Amino acid sequence: MTNAQWELQKAVYQTLSADAAIKAAVGDPARIFDDPPPDALFPYLTLGEARASDWKGVEGGLEHDLRLYVFSRYAGRREVKRILSAVYDALHEAALTLSGHDLINIRFVFADAFRRTDGETYQGVARFRAVTMAQ
């Protein structure tokens, strides 16, 4: 059996990387990182925390809590919110394909946008909940 968390991360990355609105917002090829380089060009997306827990005691079922982060140096929250909107459009209730697992659903939970303490970087966070079942 393959690892559902890794398969879900790969599917999320592939979906975002292929999305036209995401590429228009963060570059083509899309600047989406698991661990961004120190010299990453703004704006960009990062794959954040990902937690998995047992889904209602169902054998092979996992509930995933995923976070994606947006970083921007645009003056104000506009760019961050536009990118968060594109992330929502690409992932909310998407039909992602995972090797060895079925995606039951992936749904948006919340988003937030704020200025970081450096005073020039804006950050956004989008949280999604996904449920997978082993095949």
Write the DSSP symbol of residue 40: P
In the chain, where the domains are located: 4-134
Distance CA 47, CA 67 (A): 7
Q: Provide φ and ψ at 116, rounded to 5°.
A: -80, 165
Q: What are 71-120's pLDDT values in tens digits?
A: 999 999 999 999 999 999 999 999 999 999 999 999 999 999 999 999 99
Residue 57 has pLDDT above 80, yes or no: no
Confidence of residue 2 (pLDDT cuts 50, 70, 90): low
Query: Are 72 and 83 in contact, with CB atoms under 8 Å apart?
Result: yes
Residue 14 has pLDDT above 50, yes or no: yes
Fold that domain 4-134 belongs to in CATH: STM4215-like (3.30.2000)
Nearest CA among 111, 71, 113, 73 for reference residue 91: 111
pTM over 0.85: yes
Side chain identity, residue 74: Y
